[in-house]
Structure 1
Amino acid sequence: MRFAIKSVPEHQTWAEIRDVWIAADDIALFESAWNWDHFYPLTGDTNGPNLEGWTMLAALAQATRRIRVGCQVTGLIYRHPAVLANMAATLDVIAEGRLELGLGAGWNQQECDAYGIELPPLRERFDRFDEGVQVIIGLLTQETTTFTGRYYRLTDARCEPKPVQRPHPPVVIGGRGPNRTLRAVARWAQQWNAIMATPGEWLALKDILVERCREVGRDPAEITCSTNVFLRSEDELGRVAEQAAAFAEAGVDLLVVNLPIGAKPAILEPLAEALAPLA
């Protein structure tokens, strides 16, 4: 099993998150670090502070040297996919080829209502998502991209410079939908992330993903399968290690540990020691 950390940018300062990521960069066990793409906190006081994910990610890429960086996951409802493709290419250049391109259909009604962003019905949202992923991959891989869809249209569109990683940064699709989400994973993703309550629930979806891959002629072994566990304090290291072992037995490739809000760098070494026997 491989390991990553996640710092949710709510109710904590830039300096707190930066210092944790810099410390994680020096611990070989952690291969990647993640934030999220929300504008309001999801826990506690929703009127509280929440740092913007992609701006923050670019700065964290500059502050680190080894660890891979990603947003888990970017809501495609918030940005035109051509704009996001240019953001991703630029960030991969800044990170010198360490970007993980997390993508999702989006879901947060509160944010959309507050900002006047349309949150389409579920079917349309996933239709837009499917088109958006194709637009992004086209722009990141082709000299020019022409795309005619129902929701997005590009004509000889360019995205320069291209990302460092070729053909493009790994696409990480997040979600648990057995039909639309897992079909999208099978078609385009290099990683699938689903935050599940139990290993059994995760494994049931993994079995569906294998079937979706069979339908499109994809080898499921090409897709890193990940999930998250939540560390609330250093007193819970034993519980997190037990959860990690159970998910490893279920076949999870990458475990992302959500760190406590306001976590200090000192929590990382004990966490790495607790997880190391599973690596």
Structure 2
Amino acid sequence: MTLSMGVHVGQQNTTMLDLIELWQRLDTTVDWISVWDHLYEAPPAGGTTPHFEAVATLGALASVTSRARLGCLVFCVPYRNPALLAKSIIAIDHLSGGRFEPGFGAGWHEPEFRAHGYDFDPIDVRFDQLTEGLEIISGMLSDAPTTTFRGDYWHVDEVTCVPGPIDGPIRLWTGGRGPTRTPDNAARYCSGWNVPYVGPAEYRRLNDRLDAACEAIGRDPATLERSVNLAFHIGADDATATAERQRIVDQWGPEMAERVTEGALTGTPDQAIERIAEYRDAGADLVNIALRFPVDGDALEAYLTDVVPAARRL
């Protein structure tokens, strides 16, 4: 199977017009475009960086693109009633012509939880909310006429979802590197799984856990798509690539810089292709670069023009 190539765009420190311009450029080249679901910037800076909410942003993304699959990596389920979120997803699905594949997670950004009036519950509670939310959302986005569910945190009573998906059941994703509940949720509810910023060896280990979770419920592991998000730190040529590596060392220090770049693309376009091949060998079906504004335009163009076509031929 041909390796799919995507871009995960953090919708912060920019304008909506600049986002649209970037999305439309990406839509001509890559297979996947996604955004995240944060209410404050990441990494945290006290809510001081301009930032756009995910559902409205995804409506804009769906409206100005026509080709790439679209995702959210990932919706924070504790932020929204799952039944309401399912209705929002349907609207984005119709706007996109069936290209939207939403992802779901338990959330981690404590400052934005508390600033916006959400309790930052222990991780086991947030995962309970996530699993219950997936039960409701997967039912509402299927072809079932109604969905009924009563849990500890969410409930629906013969809820309908009309109109339904525009082109059959919507593919759902989940994300993260948790050892048990993330693989279980992926195997039971989802068509895809994503993890950010891990090296190829760790990615292979996490993939093995997903395989085991699928096999435990009698699911063919090959039916679960696997993706990875990688920080984008390449340079268009040797000089800019070297300067970018040095910038990371200066910012983080030598030891931490090595950890920061473990789950990143660094170096020249040729070196990026070699690194992507390692993820393909570790089980990736989709490789995304994670972009943050301001974007190095020369590096991005080199990536889209040289790296993406070569990676698809791996």
> Which TM bucket (shorter chain)?
over 0.9
The corresponding residue for 2:152 is: 150
The corresponding residue for 2:287 is: 255
The corresponding residue for 1:163 is: 165
User: Which ranges of 4 or more aligned residues in structure 1 deviate by more than 6 Å?
Assistant: none
Q: After the TM superposition, which residues 91-130 of structure 1 pair with which residues of structure 2 at under 5 Å, given as runs?
A: 91-130=92-131
Q: TM-score w.r.t. structure 1 length?
A: 0.93
Q: Name the amino acid aligned to 2:108.
A: W
Q: After the TM superposition, which residues 1-12 of structure 1 pair with which residues of structure 2 at under 5 Å, given as runs?
A: 1-12=3-14
Task: Determine helix, strand or coil for the equivalent of 1:72.
Answer: strand
Gaps of 5+ in 1: none
Q: 1:123 to 1:233 in 2, by over 3 A?
A: same
Q: 1:170 to 1:266 in 2, by over 3 A?
A: farther
The corresponding residue for 1:278 is: 311
% identity of equivalent residues:
32
Q: After the TM superposition, which residues 105-254 of structure 1 pair with which residues of structure 2 at under 5 Å, given as runs?
A: 105-141=106-142, 142-167=144-169, 169-232=170-233, 234-235=235-236, 236-238=267-269, 239-254=271-286
Q: Name the amino acid aligned to 1:54.
A: V
Task: Determine helix, strand or coil for the equivalent of 2:141.
Answer: helix
Q: 265-274 or 54-63: which moved more?
A: 265-274
1:264 shift after superposition: 6.8
In the alignment, the residues of structure 1 paired with residue 108 and residue 26 of structure 2 have an alpha-carbon distance, to the nearest angstrom, of 30
In the alignment, the residues of structure 2 paired with residue 35 and residue 91 of structure 1 have an alpha-carbon distance, to the nearest angstrom, of 13
The corresponding residue for 2:58 is: 57
Q: Deviations over 1:197-230 (max 9, x none)?
A: 2100111111111111111111110011010112
Q: Name the amino acid aligned to 1:146.
A: T
Q: Is the 8 A contact 1:244 1:255 kept in 2?
A: yes
Q: Is the 8 A contact 2:234 2:272 kept in 1?
A: no
In the alignment, the residues of structure 1 paired with residue 65 and residue 135 of structure 2 have an alpha-carbon distance, to the nearest angstrom, of 30
Q: 1:242 to 1:44 in 2, by over 3 A?
A: farther
Task: Determine helix, strand or coil for the equivalent of 1:73.
Answer: strand
Q: Is the 8 A contact 2:13 2:51 kept in 1?
A: yes
In the alignment, the residues of structure 2 paired with residue 217 and residue 87 of structure 1 have an alpha-carbon distance, to the nearest angstrom, of 32
Gaps of 5+ in 2: 237-266
In the alignment, the residues of structure 1 paired with residue 165 and residue 300 of structure 2 have an alpha-carbon distance, to the nearest angstrom, of 30
Q: Is the 8 A contact 2:41 2:51 kept in 1?
A: yes
In the alignment, the residues of structure 1 paired with residue 53 and residue 157 of structure 2 have an alpha-carbon distance, to the nearest angstrom, of 30
Q: Name the amino acid aligned to 2:11.
A: P
In the alignment, the residues of structure 2 paired with residue 105 and residue 114 of structure 1 have an alpha-carbon distance, to the nearest angstrom, of 17
Q: 98-107 or 234-243: which moved more?
A: 234-243
Q: TM-score w.r.t. structure 2 length?
A: 0.83
Q: Is the 8 A contact 1:39 1:50 kept in 2?
A: yes
In the alignment, the residues of structure 1 paired with residue 65 and residue 298 of structure 2 have an alpha-carbon distance, to the nearest angstrom, of 17
Q: How large is the RMSD of aligned CA atoms in angstroms? A: 1.7
